[in-house]
């Protein structure tokens, strides 16, 4: 046996592997450097453009119907699981199923015909949703005003495998009533570099609606708080929400905040005990807010489900459900109806929350 020959071959293989590793590391460093240079860094408060128009105005003592829905960017339907929740899915939908989900959700929304629609996880141009501009699908009604605030912008998310790629997503509010202004209010972000560069930049989408015959405003806050932190970021974001809501109520305004809190309100109890090894939502302590506010979640129907496995083929009786979606309203807003629509998580991993209120 010619050991020298095999030794030389082994050295050449090691050298080639070292070269490949060096090039891969260099490429990753260049990519991270480039993404850092172009990182999405919005100001603390950004005035947004609105689209559409209407002359209708909010009126006191008349019912207003709202719907809040995390649509899971159209791709987290009942056939999906997701790697960050213990599943395996990354790009979780085919193009055909994505469009089916979006059209099904939009049809349901049109049937409900809410006065105010608060959507979360709406993709504007993301690889995970085949670059479909989902805003166009939902913002197709006449005599409405819509606003959109980005909360996840990254040119290329390089992990896991296959990579997520480009993500451009946010929250969207659609109103039948006139809107004076829409503002993106940044929320605290405690992720460190380089993770911060390729993750969400959560925000509040704040719309101000004039009220007929009043010098006060209806302030509508559309939100999606951080899900995958250890809890400190959610707490900081909740505190920022509390401060904004209390500032507005001190002015005498009417305030409604709705969306995906990634938390259960503490006044709801332990409705859906979390199994070991499953993602666990935070608990929003309602006593941290003043008595000016009331907290509303529907205890009868879960608002979201775990993404650790495909739901369509799972045992529904032994599945992990959660209650993380709801509303907080100021004391001058009377809630006359609250209900999670039980849609079976067919088109999204969240159920929509329907609420009817009267401004007193």
Distance CA 240, CA 62 (A): 30
Please state the domain extents for the chain. Answer: 1-37, 43-359
CATH of domain 43-359: 3.60.10.10
Q: Which residues contact 283 (CB under 8 A, 6 or more apart)?
A: 263, 264, 265, 266
Give the pLDDT confidence of 74-128 residue by residue, as tens digits. 999 999 999 999 999 999 999 999 999 999 999 999 999 999 999 999 999 999 9
Q: How confident is the model at residue 14 (pLDDT cuts 50, 70, 90)?
A: confident
Is residue 133 over pLDDT 60?
yes
Q: What is the pTM of this model?
A: 0.94
Give the pLDDT confidence of 285-299 residue by residue, as tens digits. 999 999 999 999 999
Q: How confident is the model at residue 1 (pLDDT cuts 50, 70, 90)?
A: low
Using a 10 angstrom Cβ sphere, with 0-12 exposed, 13-18 middle and 19 or more buried, the burial of residue 318 is exposed
Is residue 224 over pLDDT 90?
yes
Distance CA 81, CA 331 (A): 39
pLDDT value of residue 10: 65
pLDDT value of residue 164: 94
pLDDT value of residue 157: 94
pLDDT value of residue 78: 98
- Least confident stretch, 32-41, 64-73, 182-191, 351-360: 32-41
Give the pLDDT confidence of 232-251 residue by residue, as tens digits. 999 999 999 999 999 999 99
Q: How many CB atoms lie within 10 A of CB 330?
A: 22
Q: Which residues contact 164 (CB under 8 A, 6 or more apart)?
A: 90, 91, 127, 128, 157
Distance CA 70, CA 304 (A): 9
Distances (CA, A) of 140 to 53, 64, 71, 120: 12, 21, 17, 17
pLDDT value of residue 20: 74
Is residue 28 over pLDDT 60?
yes
Q: Which residues contact 118 (CB under 8 A, 6 or more apart)?
A: 66, 67, 68, 69, 171, 172, 173, 220, 222, 258, 259
pLDDT value of residue 13: 75
Backbone torsions φ then ψ of 155, nearest 5 degrees: -65, -35
pLDDT value of residue 236: 97
Classify residue 227 as left (phi > 0), alpha (psi -120 to 50) or beta. Answer: alpha
């Amino acid at each position: 046996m010619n050991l020298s020959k095999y030794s030389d071959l082994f050295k050449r293989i090691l050298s080639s592997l070292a070269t490949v590793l060096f090039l891969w590391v260099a490429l990753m460093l260049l990519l991270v450097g480039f993404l850092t240079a172009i990182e999405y860094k919005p100001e603390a408060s950004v005035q947004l453009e609105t689209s559409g128009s209407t002359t209708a105005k909010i009126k006191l003592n008349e019912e207003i119907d709202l719907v809040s829905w995390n649509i899971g960017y159209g791709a987290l339907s009942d056939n999906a699981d997701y790697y960050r929740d213990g599943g395996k899915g990354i790009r979780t939908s085919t193009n055909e199923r994505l469009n089916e989900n979006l059209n099904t959700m939009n049809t349901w929304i049109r049937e409900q015909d809410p006065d105010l629609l608060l959507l979360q996880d709406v993709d504007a141009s993301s690889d995970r949703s085949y670059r479909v501009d989902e805003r166009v699908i939902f913002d197709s009604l006449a005599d409405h005003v819509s606003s959109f605030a980005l909360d996840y912008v990254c040119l290329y998310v390089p992990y896991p495998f296959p990579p997520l790629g480009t993500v451009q997503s946010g929250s969207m509010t659609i109103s039948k009533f006139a809107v004076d202004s829409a503002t993106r209010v940044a929320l605290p972000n405690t992720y460190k570099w380089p993770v911060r560069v390729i993750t969400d930049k959560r925000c509040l989408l704040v719309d101000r609606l004039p009220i007929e015959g009043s010098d006060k405003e209806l302030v509508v806050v559309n939100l999606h708080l951080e899900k995958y932190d250890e809890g400190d970021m959610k707490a900081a974001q909740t505190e920022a929400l509390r401060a904004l809501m209390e500032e507005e109520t001190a002015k005498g305004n009417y305030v409604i905040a709705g969306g995906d809190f990634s938390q259960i309100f503490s006044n709801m109890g332990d409705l859906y005990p979390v199994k070991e090894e499953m993602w666990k939502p935070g608990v929003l302590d309602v006593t941290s807010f003043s008595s000016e506010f009331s907290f509303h979640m529907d205890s009868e129907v879960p608002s979201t489900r775990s993404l650790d496995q495909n739901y369509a083929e799972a045992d529904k009786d032994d599945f992990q459900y959660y209650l993380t979606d709801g509303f907080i309203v100021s004391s001058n807003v009377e809630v006359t109806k609250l209900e999670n629509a039980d849609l079976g998580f067919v088109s999204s991993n969240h159920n929509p929350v329907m609420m009817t209120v009267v401004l007193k």
